[in-house]
Structure 1
Amino acid sequence: MPLHRLLRLSPTAVLGLWHRTETAAALGALLPAGAGAAYAALLPAAGPERQAQWLAGRVLAHAVAAALWPGAPAPLVQNDATGRPYLAGPGRPAGAVVSLSHSGAWAAALLTAGGRAGVDVEVVRDKARRIAPKFLSAAELAAAQAGPADDAHYTLLWSAKETLYKLAARRGLIFKQQLLLEPLPEPFAAAPAGEIPAALHLAEGQTRHRVCYSQPAAGYVLTYCWESEVPAFIH
């Protein structure tokens, strides 16, 4: 059972990482008793690799929930109409929040007892660098291009904005205008872990955040952000 790590971020938040080596069938056998049939009905109609990634996220979410709420009935991870995961069932504590991500052989899950949460794990590749003008603001792009930024650095920037997007928990945000990294971190190779100051610019006003980042393994980037309460808007 390759549960890589459970990290207690606070008394009300736990982050989990899973290094997947199992097949979809093996992962299904790791689900809590009674949950297998419910997840079988929700399993995406995709190939075995995609199904294994999906199930790894659910198995991990249950491991994180057990660490955060020991002894409580296992909640069911479902998705709303926009695809965002949420906890359901009698085992769901009031106000609980879940954020999931998977890429390649890794899955990440962040659960909190309330507030907001976002997590993202990404395989390092050249895609983020190629599409950087689409998700970085002009100032962010200029800062990235001024330094020795490589594929890992651009993947980190993309992942940080994905985490902010999940934290905001709303559709239709423009990454290069409303999800801003201020200032950009140093090149990722020189700083394998740290925090990025960030801001959400929404119609109601602005909120400030700190996105944590690290490398769970060579060739991967992990970012996450959580809040026990929704912060007040700055106008």
Structure 2
Amino acid sequence: MPLHSLTPLPGGATLGRWHLTETPAALWPLLADAAAYAPLLPARADGPRQAQWLAGRVLAQRLLAAASPAPLPLLRNDEAGRPWLAGVRPQPAVSLSHSGEWVAALLAPPGTALGIDVEMVRDKAQRIARKFLNEKELAIAEKISLPPCPGLHADQELFSLLWSAKETLYKLAGQRGLIFRENLLLDLPPQAWPMPGTLPARLRLGKAVSRHQICYLRPAAGYVLTYCYQVFS
């Protein structure tokens, strides 16, 4: 079933996962107010990317419908590409991600800083590790092990997870121009990690440093998913 799960989280947040098997033609009828979304579809998106884009919005609508019986608001993207809900006051916080056959969404109460990222495990993150991990993180990464997953290269999964964690922290920060190696910091435990688990992280914005816990899991073999949120009272 394409809708994999809607998982309530502490603080009133909800994690949604969608296993994407549909074509764009099959997804359009699942989208409430599809006519309003048609002009928002990215012009350069090919078939698979259209399916990911549509599934993300269908998943967001499922999360919203489960949270409230009110009419479903339109999901838009701001100039930086961040999703937001038009016509809703106060606005629930929402974050979306997709990769390959998986789409993920995080919905939280208004005022929540949040981020989510799902990644297909590939060798790219390991090849570009020096671009997003600092020297301390790189050194500790050599001492980390994840529970084995059949058919996966352990290092490729680990570095894909670390990349995903920094992507999630970047989304939570909500600012452009951040340097992954300097502003988005992972306090990596040099040991065997459980799966799923949590990863301590710090966000350095100017002189201010905030601490966060990034949750991670395997949504399926060959994929990693991370998310983080901070509910402000």
Q: In the alignment, which residue of structure 2 is the partner of 1:233?
A: none
In 1, are the aligned partners of 2:202 and 2:211 still within 8 Å (CA)? Answer: yes
CA change 1:135–1:31 in 2 (3 A) is: same
**CA RMSD, Structure 1 to Structure 2 (Å):** 1.6
Deviation per CA, 1:88-113, whole angstroms, max 9, x where unpaired?
Answer: 12xx2404111000000000000111
Distance 2:171 2:190 in 1: 20
Q: How many residues align?
A: 223
Q: Say whether residues 1:144 and 2:149 are aligned partners.
A: no
In 2, are the aligned partners of 1:140 and 1:184 still within 8 Å (CA)? Answer: no
1:109 is aligned, of 102, 105, 108, to: 105
Distance 1:26 1:64 in 2: 19
Q: In the alignment, which residue of structure 1 is the partner of 2:57?
A: 58
TM-score, structure 1 as length reference: 0.90
1:127 is aligned, of 124, 127, 130, to: 124
Residue ranges of structure 2 left out of the alignment (5+ in a row) = 146-153
Q: In the alignment, which residue of structure 1 is the partner of 2:160?
A: 155
Residue 229 of structure 1 and its aligned partner are, at CA, apart by 1.1
In 2, are the aligned partners of 1:14 and 1:67 still within 8 Å (CA)? Answer: no
Tell me the SS of whatever aligns to 2:21. Answer: coil
CA change 1:201–1:29 in 2 (3 A) is: same
Identity %: 57
Q: In the alignment, which residue of structure 1 is the partner of 2:216?
A: 213
In 2, are the aligned partners of 1:16 and 1:108 still within 8 Å (CA)? Answer: yes
Q: Which amino acid aligns with 2:121?
A: V
Distance 2:191 2:40 in 1: 41
TM-score, structure 2 as length reference: 0.91
Residue ranges of structure 1 left out of the alignment (5+ in a row) = 231-235
In 1, are the aligned partners of 2:19 and 2:102 still within 8 Å (CA)? Answer: yes
Q: In the alignment, which residue of structure 2 is the partner of 1:80?
A: 78
Distance 2:11 2:141 in 1: 36
Distance 1:226 1:142 in 2: 27
CA change 1:96–1:151 in 2 (3 A) is: same
Q: Which amino acid aligns with 1:68?
A: A
Distance 2:230 2:171 in 1: 12
Distance 1:61 1:88 in 2: 13
Within a 5 Å distance, the mapping from 1:182-197 to structure 2 comes to 182-184=187-189, 186=191, 191-197=194-200
Within a 5 Å distance, the mapping from 1:32-51 to structure 2 comes to 32=32, 35-45=33-43, 46-51=45-50
Single out whichever of 156-165 and 11-20 deviates more from structure 2. 11-20
